[in-house]
Copies of this chain bind each other. A is one copy, B any other.
Amino acid sequence: MAALTKKTALRIYETMIRIRRFEVRAIELFQAGELPGFLHACIGQEAVAAGVCAHLGDADQITSTHRGHGHMVAKGLKYEGMFAELYARSTGYCKGKGGSMHIADQDLGVLGANGIVGGGIPIAAGAALGIQLQGRKDVVVSFFGDGASNEGAFHEGINIAALWRLPVVFVCENNGFAESTPRSNHQTVRDIADRAKAYGIPGVAVDGMDPAAVFEVAGEAITRARKGQGPSLIEARTMRFLGHYVGDPGTAYGHDREVVKWKKRDPIPAFGKFLEKRKWIGPKKEDELRDRIERELDKAIDFARKSPEPGPQDAMTDIYASI
């Protein structure tokens, strides 16, 4: 596998910070009552989205979940459109019709967050089928959680992908919880990667708090997929640092206590140290980076706030292409 170059490492680091800061700001806005609906934040899990998506171009595709902001940011969606969507504005990626759980942009290869657990998995297989039929070299990555691996859609989607050797990589972000419910309450197998055996495809577990490790494992799987060697299942072991949704104290089943341990492995400071050690980044560059991101966030939030809201005339459009 290609080693992690300085350039890629910095990009991954930046992506992780971009995700983290997006989530932090969104949470603040949500708690201030500015955002409707509800939010599922991925703080703590940034290394997975960043490490995987570092391999993807615009023509590659992803499907995501209810906890999808990180995947979107990593895949290149702009803060403006994302915040505008959270603010339910016409300038949002979905014109305010989708919200946090349905952000999508076909131009940038984002086939949607998804409010249905596991719902994106067969769709990812289908997108990969489309790509295969079109003779393209692009790949699809399907992100989902440990909880999702118990849905029938997981089984059917992966089986089809394996059967047709579709160019898709299934990335399970195993944070050990499905809503409040710990893994022991929802499945017996400890290693979700083992489920790959049911489809005769490679299954690899990786430390989801280590973006370099994720990058490497994802690189192998994506290369396989691009070469026409079929799908893989990656299990990235990670942890969300907050409750299931913003406002959930996350105290059921000792999730909060587990988080204390995991926070010591927060991927952002850890990867920051790794970069510093190699002198790939220093305090000044770090500050610049963070400043730039914060200014972008300010601008995007401002843009969103000032954007027009959809009105009644918009309610009944976009249902059909033509009627």
Contacts and interface: CB of A to CB of B under 8 A. Distances in A.
Nearest to A201: B188
Nearest to A159: B150
A197 interface: yes
A162 B188 contact: yes
A162 B194 CA distance: 15
Nearest to A194: B197
A269 B153 CA distance: 43
**A contact residues, range:** 20 to 34
Contacts of A197: 189, 194-195, 197-198
A104 to B, nearest CB: 24
A139 to B, nearest CB: 19
A184 B120 CA distance: 25
A199 B194 CA distance: 9
Interface string A187-216: 111100011011111000000000000000
Interface in A226-282: none
A156 B151 contact: yes
A155 interface: yes
A158 to B, nearest CB: 10
Contacts of A155: 150-152, 154-156
A188 B150 CA distance: 20
Contacts of A150: 155-156, 159
Nearest to A189: B200
Contacts of A189: 197-200
A4 interface: no
A24 interface: no
Contacts of A199: 187-189
A137 interface: no
Interface string A162-200: 110000000000000000000001111110001101111
Contacts of A159: 150, 187-188
B188 A163 contact: yes
22 contacts: A150-B156, A151-B152, A151-B156, A152-B152, A152-B155, A152-B156, A155-B155, A155-B156, A159-B187, A159-B188, A162-B187, A162-B188, A163-B187, A163-B188, A188-B199, A189-B197, A189-B198, A189-B199, A194-B197, A194-B198, A195-B198, A198-B198
Given A151-B155, A189-B200, A195-B197, 8 more contacts: A150-B159, A151-B152, A152-B152, A159-B187, A159-B188, A188-B200, A189-B198, A197-B198
Q: Which 10 A-B pairs have the closest CB atoms?
A: A152-B152, A155-B155, A188-B200, A195-B198, A198-B198, A162-B188, A189-B200, A197-B197, A152-B156, A150-B159
